[in-house]
Amino acid sequence: MTDWWRGATIYQIYPRSFQDSNGDGVGDLKGITQRLGHVAYLGADAVWVSPFFKSPMVDYGYDVEDYRQVDPVFGTLDDADEMIATAHRLGLKVIIDMVLSHTSNRHSWFQESRRDRDNAKADWYVWSDPKPDGSPPNNWLSIFGGIAWTWEPRRQQYYLHNFLTEQPDLNLYNPEVQDALLAECQFWLDRGVDGFRLDAVNFLTHDPELKDNPPRPAGHPDTDGVKPENPYNRQLHLYDKSQPETRRFLERLRNLAELYPDVLLLGEVACDNSIERIAEYAGPGGPLHTGYSFALLKDDFDLSLMRENIDAFSADDSQGWPAWAFSNHDVERVASRWGGQSAPPEFIKSLIVLLLSLRGTVFLYQGEELGLPEVDIPYDLIVDPYGLNFWPEFRGRDGCRTPFPWTDADPRAGFTTVPPWLPIPNAHILKSVAAQENNPDSILSFTKAFLALRKEHPALRIGDMAFHEVGYRHICFSRQSGGQTIVVAQNFGPTETTLPAPFEDVEPLPFDGLTGALRSHVIHLPPHQSFLGRVRPFAKS
């Protein structure tokens, strides 16, 4: 067994939008296989592929109808095997999304469970009688809007769904359900995947007494990953998720994973106290290897809050090994979220430096290496149910899910030969791979070079991390491993600044594209620029 994932860079692929191989306007597994060379060229260590299982696609794959079938829009099981084998030939690990807290309401398990109260799967989902007045059993809310309960007339009961009505929650208090889910995971481990990104892992179990959640106190932070306008934030979610049985199931999953070489178990954790929950699941002795946090996926670019979240993992290993991302398929693209629609390339490159210099496993979302901005999707083209429910205050997730631009030579960006499932704006075509790959000053070239630097220097991959005191919109930290110490200083402000060098014997670490400079133990940083330095052995702080 190796800890290959420590310090690794994992590239997230959203299958619908990576590459269409059959001309239907939707990306697929053969398309991913055709384009894996780009990920290897970039220098990533692994790919995380979002769900491609059979699904009615109400939530675009996160509503699973059959875990052991590939949805026809994405291809076949043979295509999945080819994708995995090709990735391995290119030196890439393959992590797939496993959605274990809920299924589609079209899954055969649910179709049987909903028939009556006496069938073999009657207790496979979370069912409850109504209150005497016919109302739902408690006050729990769905993240996607409205109450978290839907009436089933055949059983004369409500079923729980923390997300869409079409995504009923499984009952993991039933050992048969746990056994069935472990068998679905084993199916994919036997096919050669190298691990799982466990979707909504803290939603696996609920309070069996179905107690009401209390109101959220005034000023209490919102739930990670949930927009402020969502009424979900009006409750403290003490009882609808994050119960002790979750860890016990994950321990069973870890025991299964230990039967296979080098498998990664990565949990997505979104709750009111995510760092504490990550420590519970992925801390020393925990069942997961690491936890995927929403801490750096927030709307505000707040370096002090960022430092606070990073520091929680950097001081020691009591919270476990961290995992960081600035973008994914659920949030506005980071270039726009933190830099605005016209973020300068220097700002985007500084974000790349910051992300790839952090202690932990880091994730690049497809298109982040191109500096893609968020796409403003017109209302009549929105397909995300989350966005349709909360428009116009929240326009949903389609703007970060648009097809990947491979070339600037055609209006469909080399992604497809027909109208794509979501629009591809000209701004993305101008930032395509073909437009950037031969330009040494491009964001793509910069990202590739910095990934190579991260691999070259153990301090950047696995070293300890310590922050040094600097002012607002500036950040300075050092990474240390063995006898190597690397200093990263950054200015995210609009004017030039100077920062004191944190060590006496700092010298510049040459890297093309960075204009920060060291003069007389003072670091000079133009706007949106970074400085990299290395410390000679035995330097005094």
Q: Which residues are catalytic?
A: 199, 268
Strand, helix or coil for residue 141: strand
- Whether 468 and 478 have beta carbons less than 8 Å apart is answered as yes
Q: Which residue matches tokens 């326009």?
A: 395
Q: Burial level of 1, CB count in 10 A (0-12/13-18/19+)?
A: exposed
Q: Burial level of 253, CB count in 10 A (0-12/13-18/19+)?
A: buried
**What string of DSSP letters covers 513-540?**
T---EEETTEEEE-TTEEEEEEEPTT--
Tell me how far apart the 2 most distant CA atoms of the chain are, in Å: 79
Q: Which residue matches tokens 């790959």?
A: 437
Residues 6+ apart with CB under 8 A from 404: 17, 18, 19, 27, 35, 366, 367, 413, 415
Amino acid at 24: D
Q: What order of strands is seen across the sheet that includes strand 529-535?
A: 464-467, 474-481, 484-491, 529-535, 506-508
What DSSP element (H or E) covers 322?
Answer: strand 321-325
CA end-to-end span of the chain, whole Å?
A: 37
Spatial separation of the C-alpha atoms in residues 5 and 290, rounded to whole Å: 9
What DSSP element (H or E) covers 89?
Answer: helix 77-89
- Whether 157 and 149 have beta carbons less than 8 Å apart is answered as no
Express the helix, strand and coil content of the chain in percent, nearest 5 each. Answer: 30, 20, 50
**What string of DSSP letters covers 3-33?**
-TTTT-EEEEE-GGGT--SSSSSS--HHHHH
- The C-alpha angle 308, 314, 318, rounded to 5 degrees, equals 105
Q: Which residue matches tokens 């631009």?
A: 405
